[in-house]
Amino acid sequence: MLHILVVTLICIVAILLIIVVLMQNSKGGGLAGAFGSAGATQVLGVRRTADFLSKATTYLAALFMLLCVLAEFTTGSGTSNEPGESVIQKNVPAQSAPVSPVLPQSAPEQK
């Protein structure tokens, strides 16, 4: 149950991170320029918006990495101390003894 919650949080943070990165101004104007006069730049100002978006990117990226590490610990696989079988070992049919190749019988030489 905890793993499902962590994966859901990872998806939400990833979507927010994508949105925040796309809203930042780039040399070409970025997606923030597409909003025109209704953008956040008029509310906060150009400088404060850039600071907020860069800090939000940093915090969201750090949160994303921490959640990914937490997701690794909550997967639940490998609960025993002994190493498990690989997929290849599980799918190999069981054989009682190794099979040696059959060699062709040679005909006796005639003189």
- Do 71 and 6 meet the contact criterion of CB atoms below 8 Å apart? yes
Residue 51 in any domain: the answer is yes
Tally of domains in the chain: 1
Residue-wise pLDDT tens for the chain (111 aa)?
888 999 999 999 999 999 998 888 765 555 555 555 445 555 555 567 678 888 899 999 999 999 999 998 888 765 555 566 777 777 776 666 666 777 777 777 766
Residue 4 in any domain: the answer is no
Residue 32 in any domain: the answer is no
Residue 69 in any domain: the answer is yes
Buried b (16+ CB within 10 A) or exposed e, 79-109: eeeeeeeeeeeeeeeeeeeeeeeeeeeeeee
Predicted model pTM: 0.54
Residue 27 in any domain: the answer is no
Q: With the C-alpha atoms ordered 54, 60, 65, 66, is the resulting torsion angle positive or negative?
A: positive
Residue 34 DSSP symbol: G
Q: Which domain holds residue 47?
A: 41-75
